[in-house]
Every structure is written in C-alpha cells, then in structure tokens.
Structure 1
C-alpha cells in the first residue's frame, strides 16, 4: 500500500484520481499543504470525500524544526529539550514529555488528521538528520522518554510510530541527501540503539518506521529493504506485531536499489506494510507501479484516530488546557 504526498492546499485533479487507486491508503501532509487550521480541516475533509475508502492522513509534527503546522498550533519544543531538563529533574521531564505528546496528538486529531509519525526513538549522537529531534544520547534515557511519549499519544487517541528502526542516530550522514552506512556489529546495535524500540514495543507502540541506513555487518541492504531487519529482528526477535512503514522513497538514500517502482517492490517484499511516496513528483510513478487489486486495509485501520475531538471542543478541554500551559511554560524557560 502507498501513503502519498500532495502538492498544495487542495487536491489537484490528478491527485483526486490517485485516491481512486486501491493501493493508495493514505496521504502525508507537509508545510506546503498548510495555510491555516480551517484550510487544513477542509483539505482533510476533501481527501476523505474524494477517496472511495478511508484514508490514513498523516504528518510529521514532532516539534522543534520538524513541525509542519505552526500558525494556530501550539509551539512545540524539540525533544532534546526534555533530555536537558531530565539532568536536573527527571520526574518533571517525563511528565512534560507525556503532556507534549498529548498536546501534539490532540491538536493533530482536532483538525482532522489521524497520525503524526512520532516519537523519534533514535539516539542523539550527532546525526545530521536527527540532531535535536532525539531526546538524548543515552539509550536508557531515551527508552524512558519513549514510554512517556507513547503514553501521551495514546491518551489523546493517536497511535504511536517509533522511528527510525533500527536506529538512525549513530551515523553522521543525513539520508535525505546521502547514503548512510553504520559499520557496527549487531551486538553493539542491539545493546544500544535497539533499547528505545524495545521500550516502545513493550508499552504498545502501534507502528515502526524503517531507516534508510545500511548496517553491512548485519545485512547488505538498507534496513527498509531488508527482510532480515524487518522479519527476523523486528518481528521474530522483538515481537513487534504492528504496522511497518518505509521511510520516504524520495530520499537520496532510498535510491540505491533503482527507480521508484523497484524501491516500492523492495520495501513491500521485505515486509513493509505501507510505503511513503512523499514528493509529488514521484507519486504518479508510485501509483503506476502498484497492481490494480484489492489491498488489505485492516492493518492500517488500527492507526486511525480513535476518538477525534473537534477543535472548538478541544480548546475547552481541561487536559488540553493543562498540557498547553505546561508545554508553553517550558518553551519560555
């Protein structure tokens, strides 16, 4: 199945046609798709109206530099801020991380989306793509924050997605622009980078997004193309039974196996349930690569927003008000 990106503030005719294809199971939105809360709600409604089946509408609304919707939404601090706070007050830091998760998720659901791809379970060890998107460098600290963050998202009725499996934080390269290779043996990765994923799975994380990183001592292909990482490690060894997403096939590190059709085929054959085709320029090829047949949507159904709260009711909700104040106060410190 595919999760596709779209060009602007409303669907084009071509995009309306893409939604008719049975392989298109969702849409991922970016800052280019946002003008206001009202426009965003109307876009979500248009997507649902135009598609013949329920669409999983997604975004990356992590906070910090990766916050796609800003005007009219709470200003969300980056996750690293909680790791910094934990050095002096771990109890408050974890409570605030849970409130951050609830606030983020409730606002996203409140405008009509289902899912924000969060939390980042990578370690903060200098990767150019991750940077302050990670809670901390220490795996035990990140693991504890992952548990708090998953709980906060679930409080709001949103599924949690751990990313980027099996860990993107311990290499330097940004996979948006370069190939990334992590030369460490599996034992070292398992003892460090996998710990936050174990923690997230243990508390019921619903999905995992794969990394476009190659770990040559473990398997020859980037993790998202690897049945070893997905089937043997994530599912068999770690017991994960949820939804597996690829990372964006438009990223430079995804190009190593060939064109758009090959990237999709390789992700799906490796065990991904859904492939992200984020750049509008690659969506036509992505849709054309998928057979016109019936696709099982049941696995994605668990990721639909469980209890949407309209924005006008959300802003009067006591839990929302409390979370907004706590996170706003933290941002101002």
Structure 2
C-alpha cells in the first residue's frame, strides 16, 4: 500500500535510518535531489535499493529543464520550457515538435534510472513571479496550452504520468513561495481568466496536479494546497478532476501559515491532497509522519496511475538508450545550444 508522505534522503545511498523510515506504512514516496545524484548507474542502483526495501513506493524528481533539473551528470541538459515559447512565435510547428521530443527525452531518461515520474510540466504563466520565469512555456495561456500538451504527449509516450503545477497559477505572484509568504489579491474571475485556463484545458492529459503555496486572499484565506475551496469545490467538484493531488513541499516558507510540519501535512491531507511532501528536513518529516500515522491511507487507484513504465535494463555511468534516444538527444542539445543566452 502507498502512504501519504513523500520524503527525501540525504545521500547517494540509503542509510539504516532511511531504510527504517521507508518501511513506515504512511511513507508513500521518495523525491530525489541533486545531492542524491552521481551518475546514471548510481541512481539506478539507489532506486533499485529503495524498491527492494519498499516495492510499492513511488519515486519522483524535479526534472523540468533549464535551471530546475536534478539529474545532470550523465544526463541530457534540457532547455528551459520558455525557449519553446520563444520559438513558437516564429516557428510554431517546429516548437511543438521540439516540445514533444523534449517531453519524451526527459521521461525516457528519468524512467531508465528507475524514477517513476518528474513533477512536470509547469503550467504557470510567465508574468511577474520571481520563481517561475522561463520555467513557464510562455507569457500567454494559448501558447502554454499548445506547447504543454505536446510536452505531456511526449512524456506519456515514454511511459510517464504528468503532473501540472502550480494550480491555480503561481506566475502572477511576485514572491517566491520557497522563501516568503505569497499572496495574490486578484479576484477569482481574474485568476480563472488569466492563470487557470492551462489547467482546465489540459485536464484530459493531466494525471496529477500540485497546488501552489499561494494565498488568493480575495477567494480563500488559506494557501491553495490547504484550501478546501480550491481542492474540493473547484478541482474535485467543479472541474471533476480525479487525478492525484500532491502538496508542494511543506517545508517551504509559504506553508508556514499552517504551523509546524505536523500541522502542515494534516492541513494538506484534510483539504484533499493525496500525498504531502516534506523535504530537506528529516526532523520535520518524522514529525509529519507521526501526525498522520492514524490517517486512512490515500486513494490507491489514483496513486497507482503515477507508477512509471520503468525498463528492465543495465545502466552505465553514461546513458545509452538506443538510436531513437540518441537522435533525440542530438536534436534537443542542438536546439539548446542555439538558444543559449
């Protein structure tokens, strides 16, 4: 059974403490960071070890492209998604083709090393946010929808589930919710028209969503990830979204409005999230775990959809995944090099 807490590990191999934590029934996932990565061979050995300890666990990573990609040494350096938006203005067909190839390439490499899914793509708009910027595909919803759909089709063709973030939109909020409280004082109608359309229009391709740690104070007093209005009323009832809802990292500064890690995960799960993330703070992860020990396990059918099609293969220190993969690597690297700032 898959539990409701996703946590991280400190190093490139599992410690005895890690192993004991992974065996707790309410631990359902592990997210990997750059500190956990040395080479493709090492990552595959690590994920295989994690699954030997807890076979049903979900393993995730942030491999968006651009400045947010944890798998670097031995992996393809992916462009920021904003590069596809820039190309789309002059060569829309080529931009769509490249976005699809990039989604396939990212997913193929991530799956090859035993990771189920990347928290991707970003569906926010590139507006005033300090933390979104060119992580977004474009500065308008029409282009975001077109390009993100192509990127997700590539992911799904490779065998990876998709996770759209950060619902209902983080791009129109200047503050970085990792380090500060983020408040958006626009009306619901403004948010719906400017930021939410990518999430609404792309819902058929979305397997999961991640709500933003943003307070939309004219709509609801709680951050979206702690809000029954956003999660129950809008996502589950109005939009009829039946995919997985992952909280954003509950260790982020903007999540502090709920209290400690124990209160934060209780708030997220009580609002309707399926799984809460507590990263980069082992004491906080233990506190969160103790707070939900007696909670019912999350919806297993939903969470099972996030399991990636991980190939059975031997991985070396550098990836070699066949002719189609190599052609895709060459294409994406040439595009990235041509668009480097």
TM-score range relative to shorter protein: over 0.9
- 2:141 aligns with 139
Q: Tell me the alpha carbon deviations over residues 37-57 of structure 1, each in whole angstroms, 9 at most, x when there is no partner.
A: 111111101111112x41100
Asked if residue 239 in structure 1 is aligned to residue 240 in structure 2, the reply is yes
- Partners of 1:32 and 1:312 in 2: how far apart? 19
Counterpart pick for 1:74 among 67, 73, 76: 76
Cα displacement (A) at 1:307: 5.0
SS of the residue 2:60 aligns to: strand
Paired positions, count: 331
Q: Find the aligned partners of 2:6 and 2:187 in 1 and give their Cα distance.
A: 33
Which residue is equivalent to 2:311?
308
Say whether 1:29 aligns with 2:6.
no
Matching residue of 2:13: 10
Q: 3-state SS of the aligned residue for 1:321? A: helix
Instruction: Report the counterpart of residue 336 of structure 2 in structure 1.
Output: 331
SS in 2 for 1:43: helix
Spell out the pairing of 1:50-65 with structure 2 (5 A cutoff): 50-51=53-54, 53-65=55-67
C-alpha distance in structure 2 between counterparts of 1:32 and 1:287, whole Å: 23
State the match for 1:272 in structure 2: 273
Which stretch has the larger CA shift, 285-294 or 92-101? 285-294
3-state DSSP class of the match of 1:58? strand
After TM superposition, list the pairs within 5 Å mapping 1:248-267 onto structure 2.
248-267=249-268
Note if contact 1:6-1:280 (Cα within 8 Å) is conserved in structure 2: no
Q: Deviations over 1:241-285 (max 9, x none)?
A: 100000000000001110111000000010000001111332221
Q: Secondary structure at the match of 2:307?
A: coil
Instruction: Please list, as runs of the form range in 1=range in 2, the aligned pairs for 1:1-333 lying within 5 A after superposition.
Output: 1-51=4-54, 53-202=55-204, 204-281=205-282, 282-292=284-294, 295-296=297-298, 297-306=300-309, 308=311, 310=313, 315-333=320-338
Aligned counterparts of 1:290 and 1:95: Cα–Cα separation in 2: 44
* Rounded Cα–Cα distance in structure 2 between residues aligned with 1:185 and 1:302: 34
Alignment partners' CA distance in 2, 1:148 and 1:125: 22
Deviates more, 1:290-299 or 1:118-127: 290-299
* More deviation, 265-274/294-303: 294-303
Alignment RMSD, CA only?
Answer: 1.6
106-115 or 32-41, which deviates more: 32-41
SS at match of 1:196: helix
What is the rounded CA distance, in whole Å, between the counterparts of 1:257 and 1:229 in structure 2? 16
| TM-score, normalised relative to structure 1 | 0.96
Contact kept, 8 Å, 2:213 with 2:254, in 1: the verdict is yes
Assess if the C-alpha contact under 8 Å between 1:111 and 1:310 holds in 2.
Answer: no
The range that moved more, 229-238 or 315-324, is 315-324
- The Cα of 1:239 is off from its aligned counterpart by 2.0
Structure 2: gaps (5+ residues)? none
Residue deviations 1:43-79 (CA, integer Å, cap 9, x gap): 101111112x411000000111101011110110000
1:125·1:170 contact (CA, 8 Å) conserved in 2? yes
Q: Is contact 1:21–1:292 with CA below 8 Å preserved after alignment? A: no
Cα distance in structure 2, aligned partners of 1:95 and 1:198? 23
